């Protein structure tokens, strides 16, 4: 049992019911929606890991336009879930378009259950990897900004800033901080007084 939340969107009741039965022992939470409009509230409220989205919702116009526009919507919300599209057999153009629009993967009807599960898990992993990369980039940005700021500091300002940071890391423990800074407690105390740092 994987502790993930899966949302399935398809206008066919039988598909929804059968997928719920097949997936509910594999994923902690399986939600079925007959229409993508209902995604709006679900995505806003809850942390969804992956959405399994059907490409066609109109019985007559089997073009997949609707599916693609909903895909775009899903990817536009903050911290979007991974998306696996359900396309019609041999609909290569549509599959390529969805990948370009950010879908993690696609699967055709009818599918093999194991393949579907693997694709869902892989999509979730891809999403997590992307989130981690984003975090790394954010950290790198922060570091660069910090560096820029630091380069503009005077020696005293640098010393002060460093002492504050080490103290924060040591959670106010003077002894530990002094050890880290490789100075005596006495020296540290006088520095604290000098820079007006209150612990």
Q: How far is the CB of 176 from another protein (least distance, A)?
A: 55
Is position 109 an interface residue for another protein (rule: CB under 8 A)? yes
Q: Is the peptide bond before 87 cis (omega within 30 degrees of 0)?
A: no
Beta strand 2-9 pairing with 50-54: parallel
Sequential DSSP letters for 18-86: HHHHHHTTTEEEEEEESSGGGHHHHHHHS--SEEEEES---SS-TT-HHHHHHHHHHHHSSSPPEEEEE
CB-nearer residue toward another protein: 45 or 92: 92
Residue 49 exposed, middle or buried by CB count within 10 Å (0-12, 13-18, 19+): buried
**What is the distance, to the nearest Å, from the Cα of residue 4 to the centroid of all Cα atoms in its chain?**
13
Is position 14 an interface residue for another protein (rule: CB under 8 A)? yes
Binding characters for another protein, 33-72, by CB under 8 A (x = yes): --------------------------xx-x----------
Q: Of the candidates 3, 92, 100, 112, which one interacts with another protein according to CB under 8 A?
A: 112
Residue 37 tokens read as 């409009």
Q: How far is the CB of 62 from another protein (least distance, A)?
A: 7
Q: Of the candidates 76, 79, 113, 131, which one interacts with another protein according to CB under 8 A?
A: 113
Q: How far is the CB of 118 from another protein (least distance, A)?
A: 14
Beta strand 82-87 pairing with 50-54: parallel
CB-nearer residue toward another protein: 116 or 167: 116
Q: Of the candidates 17, 128, 139, 185, which one interacts with another protein according to CB under 8 A?
A: 17
Is position 12 an interface residue for another protein (rule: CB under 8 A)? yes
Q: How far is the CB of 120 from another protein (least distance, A)?
A: 13
Give the up-direction half-sphere exposure of residue 121: CA atoms within 13 A in the CB hemisphere. 13
Name the site residues for another protein (rule: CB under 8 A): 12, 14-15, 17-19, 21-22, 25, 59-60, 62, 88-89, 109-113, 116
């Amino acid at each position: 049992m994987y502790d993930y939340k899966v949302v399935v969107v398809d206008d066919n009741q039988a598909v929804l019911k059968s997928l719920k039965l097949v997936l509910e022992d594999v994923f902690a939470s399986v939600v079925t929606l007959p229409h993508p409009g209902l995604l709006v509230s679900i995505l806003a409220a809850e942390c969804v890991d992956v959405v399994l989205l059907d490409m066609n919702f109109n019985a007559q116009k089997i073009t997949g336009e609707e599916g693609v526009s909903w895909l775009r919507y899903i990817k536009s919300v903050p911290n979007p879930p991974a998306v696996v599209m359900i396309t019609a057999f041999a609909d290569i153009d549509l599959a390529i378009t969805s990948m370009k629009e950010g879908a993690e993967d696609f699967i055709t009807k009818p599918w093999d259950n194991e393949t579907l599960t693997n694709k869902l898990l892989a999509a979730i992993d891809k999403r997590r990897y992307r989130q981690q990369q984003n975090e790394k980039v954010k950290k790198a940005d922060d570091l660069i900004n910090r560096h820029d700021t630091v380069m503009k500091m005077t020696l005293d300002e640098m010393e002060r800033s460093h002492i504050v940071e080490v103290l924060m890391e040591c959670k106010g423990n003077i002894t530990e901080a002094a050890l880290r800074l490789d100075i005596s407690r006495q020296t540290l105390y006088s520095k604290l007084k000098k820079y007006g740092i209150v612990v």
